[in-house]
Amino acid sequence: MATPQFLRCRPWQLCALLLLSIVSALGQGFVGNVPDINESPLERAKRARQELMQRMQAEVDQSNTVAESLEGRIIRLKRELAAAEVELAKRNEAAPATVAAEISSAALVVISSEQSAGSGFIAEIRGRTFLITNIHVLGAARGASIQTVDGVDITLPSYGYLSRQRDIAIVPIEWEGPTLPLSQSLSFDEVDIGQAVTVIGNSDGARVGSRLKGEVTGIGPNELEVSAKFVPGNSGSPIVHDELGKVIAIASHLKDFSVKSKWTEDSEKADVRRFGYRLDGEIEWGRVTLVDLYRQAEAYHRYEDRTRVMSQIGYMLQYEDELMTSYSSHDSLGHLFGYFERDFQWHRGMNSSNNQRMLKHFITSMLSELQTDRVGTQEALEIDFYQRRFLVTEDLRDQAAQDFIDFADSRLD
């Protein structure tokens, strides 16, 4: 009996045919093509292998294309972000922020009495609400009217807190109304020279919330200089940074630089410059009863007023050869001028024996007045602010005394 054809194949040939069939089937699964019936098993296996390699290469190429598109997208987004920042900066320059919407008049305070006028404002410090003003404004506020610009009365407690180095006073108050935001750090808020500010307060004691525009012209560790032309009555006003809408300092004082030296004669700075005290940083506070504050402020102001009058009289005698009798009605010095109206022979000038005698008596009395209240006033002043001002006033008194002595040495026998 004849042997079937497939039994005549060797075993290794059968294995090869079986493997080719399997590869062909797998190839059909990968590429999804219908096999050609005319292809031999070996040809089908070769074609399947080629198609598999082509597909794997296509997937690699597609992966690279995706990676490149992601990188390009990142570059494009960065460019768009940079362009948006430039456009935003242009818009900010074209339309700067205004403080009008930020500052409520209900938080602005007017402090006025028959003797003086000043300003203040209401703000929160460490979670407590305070009336903030200058020490020299609060010190002159015995019996003063203290109201917001909107006419709401402010009631003060019996005490307050004073800065030991800056002209700032804060008084805790009961208040449910709006407050002004404070800059906690000028450095953090990037406050710099040239930036716009507004000083809001009681200009000239007019009891209205006037707004004075300017810019920051100088920054120091405790003080801030501005070009806004605030005037008496603005002491205690908030200096508001226009862009931030925050209070960065409190208007305090003016300095007169009209007398030029060889070092300042070419200065482009104004003759009168304006300064405020910063409200940020470490401020050392001392508690004081308002009664003691009023008492010490009044003692200092009496001393300052007497010093100013004596200094002006001494200057006029020494440098203008003129006696200022307009002070004959002064509260504490007027009595020294009484006998001039009765006995001084004005038509004979200062060289007659009678007038020389009267001038000697006047000079002696004035030198005595320069000394009488020095010790008592110095002992009465315990507040740092007034102690520092006392020392400055002392220098003025010493100069006045020297003017009287020089006049006596040069003009009196």
Residue 91 has pLDDT above 70, yes or no: no
Q: Tell me, what's the pLDDT at 278?
A: 97
Beta bridge partners of 26: none
| φ, ψ (nearest 5 deg) of residue 246 | -120, 155
Per the prediction, the chain carries an average pLDDT of 82
Beta bridge partners of 251: 276
Beta bridge partners of 146: 111
DSSP letter string over 175-203?
--S--B-B-S-TTTTT--TT-EEEEEE-G
Query: Sorting pLDDT into bands at 50, 70 and 90, what band is 94?
Result: very low
Is 47 in a helix, a strand, or coil?
A: helix
Query: Sorting pLDDT into bands at 50, 70 and 90, what band is 64?
Result: low
Residues in the chain: 413
Residue 38 has pLDDT above 70, yes or no: no
Residue 408 has pLDDT above 70, yes or no: yes
Query: Sorting pLDDT into bands at 50, 70 and 90, what band is 5?
Result: very low
What's the rounded Cα separation, in Å, for the pair 140 and 294?
A: 7
Classify residue 266 by its DSSP letter. Answer: T
Residue 9 has pLDDT above 90, yes or no: no
Residue 154 has pLDDT above 90, yes or no: yes
Query: Sorting pLDDT into bands at 50, 70 and 90, what band is 122?
Result: very high
Query: Sorting pLDDT into bands at 50, 70 and 90, what band is 162?
Result: very high
In this prediction, residues 332-351 reach a mean pLDDT of 79
In this prediction, residues 139-144 reach a mean pLDDT of 94
Residue 172 zone, left/alpha/beta (φ > 0; ψ -120 to 50; rest): beta
Residue 369 has pLDDT above 90, yes or no: yes
Per cent of the chain over pLDDT 90 is 51
pLDDT in tens, 267-307: 555 578 999 999 999 999 999 999 999 999 999 999 999 99
CA atoms within 13 A on the CB side of 76: 6
Classify residue 154 by its DSSP letter. Answer: -
Q: Which two tokens stand for residue 98?
A: 């205004």
What's the rounded Cα separation, in Å, for the pair 394 and 390?
A: 6
Q: Tell me, what's the pLDDT at 95?
A: 47
What's the rounded Cα separation, in Å, for the pair 349 and 334?
A: 21
In this prediction, residues 364-388 reach a mean pLDDT of 95
Q: Tell me, what's the pLDDT at 100?
A: 44
Q: Tell me, what's the pLDDT at 29?
A: 45
Place of tokens 């938080």: 107
Residue 261 has pLDDT above 60, yes or no: no
Beta bridge partners of 238: 250
Least confident piece of the model among 87-96, 114-123, 307-316, 354-363: 87-96
| Element at 68 (helix H, strand E) | helix 41-94
Place of tokens 């009289």: 313
DSSP letter string over 272-293?
EEEEEEE--S---EEEEEHHHH
In this prediction, residues 15-22 reach a mean pLDDT of 54
Residue 97 has pLDDT above 60, yes or no: no
Could you tell me if 124 and 179 are in contact, meaning their C-beta atoms sit under 8 angstroms apart?
yes
Give the global pTM.
Answer: 0.71
Residue 260 has pLDDT above 60, yes or no: no
Cα–Cα distances in Å, from 342 out to 346, 358, 359?
Answer: 11, 11, 14
Q: Comparing 178 with 322, which gets the higher pLDDT?
A: 178
Query: Sorting pLDDT into bands at 50, 70 and 90, what band is 106?
Result: confident
Is 347 in a helix, a strand, or coil?
A: helix
Q: Which two tokens stand for residue 311?
A: 């200094």
In this prediction, residues 132-148 reach a mean pLDDT of 95
What's the rounded Cα separation, in Å, for the pair 406 and 412?
A: 10
Query: Sorting pLDDT into bands at 50, 70 and 90, what band is 345?
Result: confident
In this prediction, residues 225-234 reach a mean pLDDT of 88
Q: Tell me, what's the pLDDT at 19?
A: 55
Classify residue 335 by its DSSP letter. Answer: G
Query: Sorting pLDDT into bands at 50, 70 and 90, what band is 412?
Result: confident
Cα–Cα distances in Å, from 236 out to 154, 168, 275, 400?
Answer: 15, 8, 11, 31
DSSP letter string over 202-252?
-GGG-SS-EEEEEEEEEE-SSEEEE-S---TT-TT-EEEETTTTEEEEEEE
